[in-house]
Amino acid sequence: MRFALRLILLLASVLLPAACESRITAPGPAPITQLPRSLTAAETQLVSADNRFAFTLFHAVAAQQPADANLFISPLSVGMALGMTVNGAAGATRDSMLAVLQLDGLSMDEVNRGYRGVIDLLRGLDPGVTFTLANSIWYRTGITVGQAFLNDTRTWFDADVQSLDFGAPTAAQTINDWVSAQTAGKIPTIVDSPIAADAIMFLINAIYFKGSWTQRFDPALTRDAPFTLRDGGSVSASMMSHSDPAPVRLYIGDGVTVVDLPYSGRAYSMTIVLPQSAAEFDSLSASVTGERWNAWMAGLDSTGVIVTMPKFKLTYDQELEPALTALGMGIAFCDRGNADFTPLYPAGGACISFVKHKTYVDVYEEGTEAAAVTVVGIIATSMPAGPLHITVDRPFLVAIRERLTGTILFLGKVMNPAAN
């Protein structure tokens, strides 16, 4: 199975006539057609589970905000941060977290080996794409942390584990500096200062992606044009376009148009799912599942298409406790009063005080830059003739994924590209 929403924008370098030298003319890197090795059984199970989690999380987060709001999350980042955390949980708390992550039925050894394998495969997969995935754990100096828990997070998640004086004036800045460094400055802060007196640990995942389209959009063709909103109104959006058909993968059917735009050597792509009309976006968004996603991905065929789509830059900041509680993980949070994180904090009384998620994405003619950070805070207590034209001029789903494993890095919806 594929790790669904790792949609990473796949746009080939536009080859123009010799007279147009100023336009984009790059031969493009050699296509990446296979992974360095086959996925193990544990990795396959993890990717499949992460895809299912991607859509359940998407629906739960979307339910917590206005229908017209933009949304952009990284299921991989959230899953990785919670995956580290679940190693410190026990009993019903662990069971609930594994169920929400769609990992119930797997042993912790299978879960951890799956995460380790996915981390290793994603790093350095495409030399033309900058991809960073980093994990860290920061705990209050002087507390006793479960040694087996720390060993597991180092071994399986490659976590940078550090003791820190949370009472120092510079403590939050130290953590935020690490986050900023891992995301190329796109997400400069994740922990507030001063750190709360009852905070004992922060478990953090950071992801950074920067890739150039395989075939870039032509900046000379970018112009303002109408973008139809969900309610039938419209806004002016900066729309970029190819000058020549770009090599993409395409599926039209099931009431949607799916276009997969590749980056660099084509291991990563951006996948756009477009409804037939703006009015149909709500039903599309509500009905998308991992199974439906997999069917769309299986139906993609290579073709040449001139794509017109909006440039957009979004920042997103969300507290995930309401969504995760709605999915069944409420026992892990402090307001229930019965969380069990004794493998993490043997003294007892530890619980999750918050799960904060921040993302950034910039989609432009040359490529895409995206970043995500998740922190888990622990406290004690049929096509027409000629080139096909597709215009993305209405609300759409968007994902950035690694195509060969199927891993979804980012997943969201663009309701208004002119809004930040």
pLDDT digits (tens, 9 = 90+) for 31-43: 999 999 999 998 9
| Token couple for 103 | 């990992």
Neighbours of 319 (CB within 10 A): 12
pLDDT at 143 exceeding the cut of 80: yes
Find the mean pLDDT for residues 227-231.
95
The domains found in the chain, sorted by start residue, are: 41-211+313-379 (3.30.497.10), 215-310+383-414 (2.30.39.10)
Kindly state the percentage of the chain with pLDDT values over 70.
92
Which residues is 226 bridged to in the sheet? 236
Q: Which of 339, 321, 319 is nearest to 331 (CA)?
A: 339
Burial 11-48 (b: 16+ CB within 10 A, else e): bbbbbbeeeeeebbeeebbeebeeeeeebeebbbbbbb
Residue 374 pLDDT class (50, 70, 90 cuts): very high
- pLDDT computed for residue 412 by the predictor: 94
Residue 2 pLDDT class (50, 70, 90 cuts): very low
pTM (two decimals): 0.88
pLDDT digit string (tens) for 83-138?
Answer: 999 999 999 999 999 999 999 989 999 999 999 999 999 998 999 999 999 999 99
54 within 8 A of 402, measured Cβ to Cβ: no
- pLDDT computed for residue 387 by the predictor: 67
Task: State how far the Cα of 105 lies from the Cα of 86, in Å rounded to an integer.
Answer: 14
Task: State how far the Cα of 263 lies from the Cα of 235, in Å rounded to an integer.
Answer: 28
pLDDT digit string (tens) for 265-304?
Answer: 999 999 999 999 999 999 999 999 999 999 999 999 999 9
pLDDT at 365 exceeding the cut of 60: yes
pLDDT at 22 exceeding the cut of 90: no
With helix as H, strand as E and coil as C, how does 14-38 read? Answer: CCCCHHHCCCCCCCCCCCCCCCCCC
pLDDT at 390 exceeding the cut of 90: no
pLDDT at 6 exceeding the cut of 60: no
| Token couple for 390 | 């597709």
pLDDT digit string (tens) for 178-204?
Answer: 999 999 999 999 999 999 999 999 999
Burial 335-359 (b: 16+ CB within 10 A, else e): eeeebbbbbbbeeebbbbbbbbbbb
pLDDT digit string (tens) for 320-334?
Answer: 999 999 999 999 999
Residue 386 pLDDT class (50, 70, 90 cuts): low
Contacts of 357 (CB under 8 A, 6+ apart): 73, 74, 77, 78, 316, 317, 318, 319, 320, 372, 373, 374
Choose between 262 and 27: higher pLDDT: 262
Find the mean pLDDT for residues 60-70.
95
pLDDT at 9 exceeding the cut of 50: no
